[in-house]
Structure formats: C-alpha cells, structure tokens
C-alpha cells in the first residue's frame, strides 16, 4: 500500500515518483541547472539536506563531486551515506582520528565520518536518555562496504571504550577488546567468500552487541548470525570461490599439516574452484592467531581443520550410474578417516537409504543423483554445524556476564537487497530481511515523525512515502502468504511439483498486488514487487530448500565420530527437531522469520542510526563513480525522501518538562525554573522567545502540544549555550570552594596562633599562674575556632552572592542573574576537593596522551607543572588526582596545553603565578605557562 500524503510545498522538493528523471519539468529543470552551475561548490555540501532543490540529480551530483574530491562520507539528514573508495585511504580511520571525534565537544561539527555515528551512539549511552541502547544499522548491496564499516565501528569502540585502561583489572579485561576484534577474522574466514561482486563477501548476516558497563566501557560482546549460505560449500556459482578458510588452508598450511589433513601439494579439489585467484583475505596465519587468542587450542584446531579437509575429500567423491558398481573409493576412505568414522558406514550412508515401515527397516539403494545429493547434504550439514559451533565458542569467549554490563550498542551488518538472473529461497529470505529493515526505517523516521506532527498540532505538509506492509504481508503474513504456503507444501509427505505449487500460489495470492506471474514463461516462477524493485523467484527447488532435509543415517553416523568436536556438535544438535525422515520440523523460512522477529524486537527497543553504504561502481574499481549504478542504489533506499523529511522536519523532539530541565538554565528569567511553569505551551513559547536571539532561529524550533520540536542546528545552538553556562557554573562553584578553603586555612592559622600565644603566655607565667586559668584560655580559644569553622561551613557554596567580592568581574553578571539556582543545574553530585592545581573532576580511569613534535619542547614545562610524565609519542599516564576525568591532552602553540575532560571539569582559578588557566569549553581547559 502506498500512503498518499500531500506532497510538501517546500521549494524544490520533488518525490521520485513524480519526478521521472528524463522528463524534467521546465521550471524545476531551471532550478536544478542553476544549482548545478556552481560546480566548484558541490563538494562542500556535507549534509544533503542543504541541497536545493532536493532531486535525485542534485543529490547524485553532490555525491559525485564529493567522491571526486576524495570525500567519502556525507550526511543525509538522519542517515549517513558512505561511498566505497575501493582503496585504503591513509589516516581516514587512524587512532588519532578516532580520538579527535571522541574528544570533540560537538563531533557533528567535524567532517562527516562513520565515527560521528559511532560517537553519537556512544554519547547517547552516556547520556542515559531513553532508549539508552543503540543500534547501528549498516545496509547496502554486496560490496558496498558494510563489513568494512562494521569493522571500523568495532575498532572505534574497542579504542574509545577500552576497559583495559582500568589498571587494576588490566590482565583480564585487557584482552576483551582484542578478543572482540579477533572474532572478525575467524567469522570472515568461515563465513565470507570471493564472489563476482565482492572479493570478501559475507555469506551470512550478523548482529553484534557490544556490551558496556556502567562507565560505558566495553566489557564484552555477543554475536548473532543469520542464514549462512551453506550451499556454497558444495556448489559454487561460476567464477566464484568457496569459503575463504579452504584457500587459506591450502595456501598457508605447513607440510606437516598438509600431511595430517591428507591434502598433498597439487591435489585438485572439485569444491575449490578458482584456487589460483589470490585475495587479501587468504591469510591462514591471521585466522589461526585469532583462534589462539580466543582460546581454541591446538588440538581443537586440528579437529576443525581435519573436518574441513574431510569435506573437501567428499567433494572429489563420484558415484557411478549403477549402484552395484559403486565401491568405496580411496577418497571416501580418506574422508572417513578425516571425520574419524568407519569407511564402510560412510559408504553405506551415502549410497543406501533406510526406509522405515512400522518397526521394520528396509534398505533401498540410492540412484546416482541421490548419492550426490546425500554427499552434498553431508558436507553442508557438517559445515553449517561447524560454523554454528564456532559462533557459540566465540560468544562464550567474548560475552560478559549479565551482571557486568547494563547497556549495549548493536551493529547490524546484513546482506543487501539481491536480484540475480535466477533467484531462489536464499534471495527471498534476504530480500524479506531487507523489507523488514526498510519498514523499520520508514516506521522510525518517516511515519512516526509525520504522525507525531499531526498529534502535536504542527503545521506540516506531508511527504509521500512507500509503506511496504503489503509486501511483507505477501511474504510472511500469517493466514495466506508465500511463506505459509511454502511451509504447507514442505510438510507434505511427497516430492513437490513446482508447477502445482505455482498454480496454488496464484490461486491463493491473486488478490495481492505485490505478486505477479509471467503466464508465458516456461520456468515456474513468481515476481515480487519489493520496495527496491521487482524480483523474479524461481520455484524449482524452493520447497526442497525450505525442507532442508538431512538423512537420519548421516546424523547418526556423525554422532559415532571419534573426532570429539564432530561427535559433540552432532550429539548436541537438537535431534528432537527432526522427524524420522530427517526433515526438520522447523523449516528454513520459519526459522529465519523467527530469528528476524527477535532481531526486530531488539531494534524496536533501541535508538537506531542508519548508515547506507553505496557501491560507486560494480567492478570494484578504486575511485570510480558510475552515476547510473549509484542512482539505482539511492533510489532503492529512498534516500531522497529521507533527505527531504530530515531537511524539512524536526528530528529532535523533547517533552516540555525534559526540555526545561535541560535548557532551563539558559533562560534569562528565573521564573521559568519551576516545573509547573514549564509544562505549558505558553510559557515554553515565552521561554523560547527570551532564549532565542532573534527571529533568525524561529524556523528551527516549534512548540507542539506537549513537546518542543527542534532541528539539529537548534539543538547544537542550545547545547553550546548550555555548556558555556555550565562551565561558568563549575567555575563559580570552584571559586566558592576556594574561598571557603582559604578562610578555613586562615581560621586554622589564626586559632593556631591564638593557641600558641595562650600556651606561650601560660609557659611564661607558669610560676605565678594557676592551672585553671591556663585551661580557660585554651578552652576559650578552641571554642572560638570551632564556632568560626561552623559558620564558614554554613556559608559554604549557597552564599553565591559573596562572590561579587571575588576578583572575577566577568562572572559577576552571571552570578547576579542566576544566583544559587545555577548550582543545582549541575545534575551530577558535586564532589569538590581542594587540590593544589584546582582540578576536581568526575572519576575516570587514565588518559592517553598524544604529542606531536611541534611545540613539544615548550610544552614540557607545562607538563612538568602538571606533574605529568613528559615523553615524546603516545603513552599512558597512571591515574592521579590531576588526571582524573582527562580524556586527552593536546599540545597547543605558544607553550600551552589543552586538557580535555570526559565530563565538565570543576575547576578554580589557578593560583600558580606562572600558570594561567582558562575554561574554553564545557569540558576543556587551556593551561598556559609564561615561559
Ligand atoms: N571505507 C573503505 N575504505 C577502503 N576500502 C573500502 C571501504 N569500504 C569498503 N572497502 C573495500 O570494498 C570491499 C567490499 O567491502 P565489504 O566487504 O565491506 O562489502 P559488503 O557490503 O560487506 O559486501 P557483502 O554484502 O558482499 O559482504 C572491501 O573488501 C574493501 O576492499
């Protein structure tokens, strides 16, 4: 169903359906031409919402100009567009760049980058605003860069949220980030393959949950995988390869290993096509190293590789047409030996079917084709189970105990939309998953946003978008759908007839507009109109694939294996899910649907962040931008609609009360401080009119019935003002505290002097004076001193007006205006300690210091006065009272150093004569030394 809404009146926006590229209407064409004339400027559009008019052509041109200028990331409102450069870009993902984005007060102001998405999600967790858990959805077609992007995100968190810096537990947790990252090469070796579209194509989907503790440090992770393309192990499409691990084995193994695996040099393996092609991922050593790090010991590794080698040997086994002639060949013996199962039993299991008739079993020889199918089935089931075992092992190794983590950031890397010449069940499942994700995107950003505008009474012209619910109903609907009919067919106790199945589909689903048939086609098929385009699905073989049967003889044979791993994975396997005919009670599509539904449940409870990876050319050529190919991808993911809604809408919506809680302190009038006042639209509007400088910002903010709607620019502006004030408040508090401490010291000194004087006078006059007199003097002095301390303590902090006496004239207006109220706006409890340097900070583990050669010498003296070790390069600083909360230190010109804190530092003016401190941002201090 398509929701037809009023198309917005915003200048220049045209929906893709109304704007077929070849037929531009004249006036719009004029505007587009005018926009495109300024060619030199096109690459400067770092957010496509700034493009005007927003049309596929203008968006495409901007992306092209940026790509040519070697800029690969561009915001598209709430989505990040990532163009694949197809070549490594130096320093684009270095640790320094990660730190730059992590430490930036406003990362959104830096150049668009995947690290902005990563940091935004991380700060959302730190901010604990509901929903606290985050999901980073990375989508795009095969070879667009999803896996690369996911890897970048994982590395980012392994760097900025590294818990290994917690000194006391360094030994244990130091390995966590390493282990999480080490899961990548193993899963890629076993789950990725070289395809026509991508040399390192993931043949499975994955959702990685990075687990964060209370301090937002990475303490573990878990991986959920989806739909491994196990058919590849026994059947590789033309010009493609098997899974990487096999090529790694034959290229990287030692002679001794080859002997053990019965893989002599030069042996040809039918299931290893294109072995001469070498790809970057053919690195056996790296996979083994990662296995070691994750705790897979040498014996286990040997078992794994022998199983894999056994599968390869199976691939070379051929069957003769007549079963009588089929004798166990040498290859079968080798496979049996590698699987540690008796050769005769393997031979029998491959060639003879056991039919059950009541309590009796009848043995029936299989035809040549059936034998081959059984062989392939054995290979597939072993490989799939091995992969599942590996994923479970990885999870055991990296998953933290539930008590250790409280929030997570999930990274979803799923296969993109697929449409080949021949499509079958795999493509149907993959495209179904993409439909689900698109629906989530539409629901989250488009529909929810527009619905909320209506309920909040905002004036809004609606954008037309495609709702894909009817397509999803067609595929997965509970009553009659492709999946339900497929499942019914799969459960019938007979071989399926694809022609009959096609007739059934047509009869049952003829009312659905999303499905069609080419009546003249000889091959039985059906066509689904997906949101991204029409796809023909071949019916032949679909039902068998859905049944995914494993002959029971094969299962019981593998359970007898002396290879303890093989034995374990087939004994642990849920046999109750099997019928006596080896059919799984759970079909492929129902299993996939269930796992996808669990995933969607998780996604719905998290804050999503979308990254759309785009493949600029299908030949994977570095820095080559093919317009036709890019535009198809942009259209498939509805990027133009997304841009428009983001540009015209208010992506940030905050309830009145929360808004005032956060931004109330900016108001120039303190009568907006009470919550009852805040909760009315009238006071809010009044507040905003006081708060905003001029009409300039009026279009950035709107008051709804219960919420304030804001653009990102407005939020940036408000955050900026808030941070400035908080820094000032922190400064004020520190000034109060300093004064209190000084008075305390003075009082202590004074009382000490009094006591000393008293004692001295008592000593002088001891011959003549009485004990009781001396005692009275001392008691008196103590009393005075105590009273003084008490009065000082009472006057502490809340006596902000006293600060006018302090020599901080630039702060006086702030204090006068906000008075003590401001002190309570610091949400975190304030713990202040009177440290010599005056840095009282929220707790933080340690810091990493990056120093460049420039200004190094000059900075040394500053570092020395901070009591920090001074060495060139990058090093860790043990935590001390000065470094708590520090995120980074950067050398500045003129012998100064900028300290950047994870949270707002509370500081007071430095009293060291040659060291000047200045608050330059919410969590920044500039220290300058007079040299
Ligand atoms: N940001 C990048 N910088 C440099 N090269 C990149 C980048 N992103 C992707 N690539 C290159 O493109 C190739 C394909 O990327 P990737 O494997 O991530 O695609 P994918 O979308 O995960 O594909 P599939 O769905 O087939 O798994 C990578 O092997 C890498 O060479």
Q: Which of 15-29, 135-149, 889-903, 914-928 has the highest mean pLDDT?
A: 135-149
201 CB within 6 A, ligand 1? yes
The protein residue with its alpha carbon nearest to ligand 1, atom 29, reads 200
Ligand 1 contact, 202 CB (< 6 A): yes
Q: Which residues contact 366 (CB under 8 A, 6 or more apart)?
A: 323, 350, 351, 352, 353, 374
Chain mean position to CA 453: 29
Q: In a mutational test of the pocket of ligand 1, which residue from 200, 229, 243 has the highest number of ligand atoms less than 8 Å from its CB? A: 200
β-strands 134-139, 607-614: how paired?
parallel
Hey, how many other C-beta atoms are within 10 angstroms of the C-beta on 196? 15
C-alpha–C-alpha distance, residues 512 and 485, integer Å: 14
- The C-alpha atoms of residue 615 and residue 143 are separated, in whole angstroms, by 6
Domains in the chain, CATH or no CATH each: 284-392+549-577 (1.20.120.720), 433-548+587-597 (1.20.58.530), 652-710 (no CATH), 730-823 (no CATH), 828-931 (no CATH)
Return the minimum-mean-pLDDT range out of 237-246, 342-351, 821-830.
821-830
Of all residues in the chain, the percent with pLDDT exceeding 90 is: 41
CB 205 within 8 A of CB 410: no
Q: CB neighbours of 70 closer than 8 A, spacing ≥ 6?
A: 85, 89, 623
Is any atom of ligand 1 closer than 6 Å to the C-beta of 198?
A: yes
Cis peptide leading into residue 53 (ω within 30°)? yes
Binding residue numbers for ATP: 140-147
Nearest residue to 214 via CA among 315, 125, 312, 139: 125
Question: Range with the lowest mean pLDDT among 544-553, 558-567, 711-720?
Answer: 711-720
Tell which atom from ligand 1 comes closest to the C-alpha of 152. 1
When pLDDT is cut at 50, 70 and 90, the band that residue 16 belongs to is very low
CA 214 to chain centroid, in Å, comes to 18
205 lines ligand 1 (CB under 6 A): no
CA-based angle 5:534:227, to the nearest 5?
105
**Which of 148, 189, 433 to mutate for ligand 1's pocket (most ligand atoms within 8 Å of CB)?**
148
85 Cβ below 6 A of ligand 1: yes
Note the Cα 921 to chain centre separation in Å: 28
| Res 444: pLDDT | 80
- Round to whole Å and give the CA distance between 491 and 676: 63
DSSP state of 366: P
230-244, 281-295, 320-334: range with lowest mean pLDDT: 320-334
Any bridge partners for residue 840, and if so which? 906
Q: Higher confidence at residue 68 or residue 799?
A: 68
ipTM above 0.95, yes or no: yes
For 453-513, give the secondary structure using H, E and C.
HHHCCCCCCCCCEECCHHHHHHHHCCCCCHHHHHHHHHHCCCCCCHHHHHHHHHHHHCCCC
| Residue 139 CB less than 6 A away from ligand 1 | no
Residue nearest to atom 8 of ligand 1 (CA): 145
Q: Are 265 and 297 in contact (CB under 8 A)?
A: no
Q: Please give the pLDDT value at position 103.
A: 86
Distance (Å, rounded) from C-alpha 648 to C-alpha 711? 9
pLDDT classification of 627: cutoffs 50, 70, 90: very high
Q: Considering just the CA atoms, what is the radius of gyration of the chain in Å? A: 35
Q: Is a pLDDT exceeding 60 seen at residue 802?
A: no
Q: Is 621 in the pocket of ligand 1 (CB under 6 A)?
A: no
Alpha carbon 472 to chain centroid, angstroms? 26
- Please give the C-alpha separations between residue 339 and each of 167, 287, 378, 567, in angstroms, as whole numbers: 46, 22, 11, 9
Band of the pLDDT at 639, cuts 50, 70, 90? confident
Cα(623) to centroid(ligand 1), Å: 13
Q: Which of 62-71, 603-612, 703-712, 715-724 has the lowest mean pLDDT?
A: 715-724
Residues 6+ apart with CB under 8 A from 709: 453, 456, 458, 650, 652, 653, 701, 702, 703
Of 477-486, 487-496, 830-839, the poorest mean pLDDT is in 830-839
Return d(Cα 346, Cα 326) in angstroms, integer: 13
d(CA 36, CA 400): 53
Q: How far is CA 918 from each of CA 667, 835, 838, 923, rounded to the nearest angstrom?
A: 25, 17, 12, 11
Mean pLDDT within 317-322? 81
Does residue 520 carry a pLDDT above 60? yes
Q: Which residue did the predictor score with more confidence, 659 or 318?
A: 318
The answer, yes or no, to whether residue 590 has pLDDT greater than 90, is yes
Q: Does 879 contact ligand 1 (Cβ within 6 A)? A: no
Residue 89 Cβ inside 6 Å of ligand 1? The answer reads yes
Distance, CA of 553 to CA of 364 (rounded, Å): 12
Say if CB 195 and CB 237 are below 8 A apart.
Answer: yes
* Alpha carbon of 701 to ligand 1 centroid (Å): 39
Q: Which of 145, 192, 198, 417 to mutate to test the pocket of ligand 1 (most atoms within 8 A of CB)?
A: 145
Q: Are strands 533-538 and 525-530 parallel, antiparallel or unpaired?
A: antiparallel
Q: How far apart are CA 662 and CA 676, in angstroms?
A: 15
Maximum average pLDDT range among 92-101, 165-174, 510-519: 92-101
Task: Name the nearest CA neighbour of 350 among 271, 231, 564, 327.
Answer: 327
Distance separating alpha carbons of residues 623 and 84, to the nearest angstrom = 8
Cβ of 146 less than 6 Å from ligand 1: yes
In the reported structure, the alpha carbon of residue 614 is separated from the centroid of ligand 1 by a whole-number distance in angstroms of 10
What is the Cα–Cα distance from 168 to 350, expressed in whole angstroms?
57
Is the pLDDT assigned to residue 98 strictly greater than 80? yes
Which of 124-133, 330-339, 619-628 bottoms out in mean pLDDT, i.e. has the lowest?
124-133
* CA-to-CA dists, residue 267 to 263, 270, 306, angstroms: 7, 10, 16
Q: How far apart are CA 847 and CA 836, in angstroms?
A: 20
Residue 184 CB–ligand 1 contact under 6 Å: no
Per the listing, tokens 């090469």 go with: 185
Measured between alpha carbons, how far is 453 from 891 in angstroms, rounded to an integer?
A: 47
- Does residue 147 line the site of ligand 1, with CB under 6 A? yes
- The residue that leads in pLDDT, 184 or 845, is 184
Distances (CA, A) of 625 to 62, 147, 239, 619, 769: 12, 20, 25, 11, 102
Q: Ligand 1 mean position to 145 CA, how many Å? A: 3
CB 311 within 8 A of CB 271: yes
How buried is residue 122: exposed, middle or buried, by Cβ count under 10 Å (0-12/13-18/19+)? buried
How large is the average pLDDT for residues 402-430? 90
Confidence of residue 39 (pLDDT cuts 50, 70, 90): confident
Closest-CA residue, ligand 1 atom 25, reads: 142
Whether ligand 1 lies within 6 angstroms of the CB of 194 is answered as no
Per-residue pLDDT at 329: 61
Model confidence band, residue 839 (pLDDT cutoffs 50, 70, 90)? very low
Q: Is the pLDDT of residue 670 over 60?
A: no
For the Cβ of 545 lying below 6 angstroms from any atom of ligand 1, the answer is no
Please name the residue whose Cα sits nearest to atom 31 of ligand 1. 86
Q: What share of the chain is helix, strand, coil (3-state, %, to 5)?
A: 50, 15, 35
Question: What number does the ligand 1 atom closest to the CA of 195 have?
Answer: 26
What integer best gives the mean pLDDT of the chain? 75
The span from the CA of 571 to the CA of 608, in Å, is 39
| Predicted confidence (pLDDT) at residue 584 exceeds the cutoff of 60 | no
Long-range contacts of 915-920 (CB under 8 A, 24+ apart): 915/862, 915/865, 917/838, 919/727, 919/728, 919/730, 919/731
Angle between helices 343-351 and 368-398 (to 10 degrees): 120
Number of other residues whose CB lies within 10 A of the CB of residue 507: 10
Give the whole-angstrom CA distance, residue 406 versus residue 212. 6
pLDDT digits 0-9 by tens, 677-696: 444 555 556 556 555 555 55
- CA-wise closest residue to 847 among 866, 827, 828: 866
**pLDDT at residue number 928:** 62
**pLDDT tier, 31 (very low <50, low <70, confident <90, very high otherwise):** confident
């Amino acid at each position: 169903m398509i929701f037809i809404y009023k198309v917005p009146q915003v200048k220049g926006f045209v929906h893709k359906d109304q704007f077929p590229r070849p037929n531009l209407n004249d006036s719009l064409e004029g505007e587009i031409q005018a926009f495109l004339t300024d060619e030199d400027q096109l690459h400067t559009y770092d957010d496509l919402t700034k493009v005007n008019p927003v049309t596929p052509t203008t968006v495409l041109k901007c992306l092209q100009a940026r790509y040519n200028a070697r800029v690969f990331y561009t915001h598209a409102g709430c989505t990040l567009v990532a163009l694949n450069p197809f070549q490594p870009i130096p320093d684009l993902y270095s640790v320094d760049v990660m730190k730059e984005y992590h430490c930036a007060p406003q990362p959104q102001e830096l150049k668009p980058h995947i690290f902005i998405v990563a940091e935004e999600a991380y700060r959302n967790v730190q901010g604990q605003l509901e929903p606290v858990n985050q999901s980073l959805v990375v989508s795009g077609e095969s070879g667009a860069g999803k896996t690369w992007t996911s890897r970048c995100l994982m590395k980012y968190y392994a760097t900025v949220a590294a818990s290994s810096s917690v000194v006391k537990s360094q030994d244990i947790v130091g390995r966590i980030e390493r282990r999480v990252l080490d899961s990548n090469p193993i899963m890629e070796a076993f789950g990725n393959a070289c395809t026509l579209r991508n040399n390192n194509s993931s043949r499975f989907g994955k959702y990685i949950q990075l687990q964060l503790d209370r301090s937002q440090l990475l303490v573990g992770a878990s991986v959920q995988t989806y739909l491994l393309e196990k058919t590849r192990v026994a059947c590789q499409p033309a010009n493609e390869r098997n899974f990487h691990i096999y090529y790694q084995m034959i290229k990287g193994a030692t002679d001794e290993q080859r002997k053990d695996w019965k893989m002599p040099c030069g042996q040809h393996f039918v299931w290893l096509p294109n072995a001469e092609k070498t790809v970057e991922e053919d690195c056996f050593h790296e996979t083994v190293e990662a296995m070691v790090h994750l705790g897979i010991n040498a014996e286990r590794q040997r078992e794994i590789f022998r199983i894999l080698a056994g599968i390869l040997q199976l691939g070379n086994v051929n069957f003769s047409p007549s079963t009588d002639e089929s004798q166990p060949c040498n290859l079968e013996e080798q496979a049996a030996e590698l699987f540690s199962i008796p050769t005769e039993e393997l031979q029998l299991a491959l060639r003879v079917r056991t039919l059950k008739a009541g309590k009796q079993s009848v043995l029936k020889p299989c035809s040549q084709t059936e034998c081959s199918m059984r062989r392939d089935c054995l290979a597939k089931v072993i490989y799939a189970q091995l992969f599942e075992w590996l994923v479970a092992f990885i999870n055991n190794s990296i998953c933290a105990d539930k008590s250790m983590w409280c929030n997570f950031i999930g990274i979803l890397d799923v296969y993109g939309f697929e449409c080949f010449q021949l499509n079958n069940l795999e493509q149907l499942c993959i495209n179904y998953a993409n439909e689900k994700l698109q629906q989530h995107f539409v629901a989250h950003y488009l529909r929810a946003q527009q619905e909320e505008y209506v309920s909040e009474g905002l004036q809004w012209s609606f954008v037309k978008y495609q709702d894909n619910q009817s397509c999803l109903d067609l595929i997965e609907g509970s009553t009659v759908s492709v999946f339900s009919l497929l499942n019914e067919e799969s459960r019938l106790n007979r071989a399926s007839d694809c022609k009959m199945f096609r007739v059934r589909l047509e009869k049952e689903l003829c009312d659905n507009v999303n499905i069609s048939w080419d009546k003249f086609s000889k091959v039985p098929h059906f066509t689904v109109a997906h949101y991204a385009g029409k796809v023909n699905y071949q019916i032949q073989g679909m039902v068998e694939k859905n049944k995914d049967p494993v002959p029971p003889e094969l299962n019981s044979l593998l359970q007898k294996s002396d290879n303890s791993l093989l034995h374990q994975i087939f004994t642990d396997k849920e046999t109750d899910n099997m019928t006596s005919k080896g059919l799984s009670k759970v079909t492929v599509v129902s299993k996939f649907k269930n796992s996808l539904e669990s995933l969607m449940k998780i996604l719905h409870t998290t804050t999503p962040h979308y990254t759309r990876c785009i493949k600029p050319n299908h030949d994977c050529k570095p820095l080559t931008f093919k317009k036709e190919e890019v535009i198809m991808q942009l259209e498939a993911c509805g990027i133009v609609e997304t841009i428009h809604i983001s540009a015209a809408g208010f992506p940030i919506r905050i309830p009145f009360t929360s808004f005032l809680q956060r931004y109330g302190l900016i108001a120039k009038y303190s009568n907006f401080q009470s919550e009852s006042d805040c909760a009315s639209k009238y006071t809010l509007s009044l507040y905003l009119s006081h708060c905003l400088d001029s009409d300039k910002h009026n279009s950035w903010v709107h008051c709804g019935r219960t919420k304030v709607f804001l653009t990102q620019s407005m939020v940036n502006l408000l955050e900026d003002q808030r941070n400035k004030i908080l820094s000032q408040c922190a400064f004020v508090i520190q000034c109060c505290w300093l004064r209190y401490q000084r008075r305390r010291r003075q009082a202590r000194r004074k009382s000490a002097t009094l006591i000393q004087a008293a004692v001295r006078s008592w000593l002088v006059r001891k011959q003549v004076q009485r004990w009781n007199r001396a005692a009275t003097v001392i008691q008196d002095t103590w009393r005075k001193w105590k009273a003084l301390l008490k009065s000082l303590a009472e006057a502490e902090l809340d006596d902000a007006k006293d600060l006018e006496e302090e020599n901080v004239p630039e702060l006086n207006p702030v204090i006068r205006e906000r008075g003590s109220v401001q002190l309570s706006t610091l949400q975190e409890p304030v713990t202040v300690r009177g440290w010599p340097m005056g840095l009282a900070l929220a707790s933080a583990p340690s810091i990493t210091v990056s120093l460049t050669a420039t200004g190094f010498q000059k900075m040394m003296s500053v570092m020395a006065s901070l009591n920090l070790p001074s060495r060139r390069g990058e090093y860790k600083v043990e935590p001390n009272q000065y470094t708590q909360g520090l995120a980074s230190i950067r050398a500045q010109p003129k012998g100064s150093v900028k300290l950047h804190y994870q949270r707002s530092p509370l500081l007071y003016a430095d009293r060291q004569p040659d060291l000047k401190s200045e608050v330059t941002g919410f969590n920044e201090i500039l220290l300058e030394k007079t040299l």
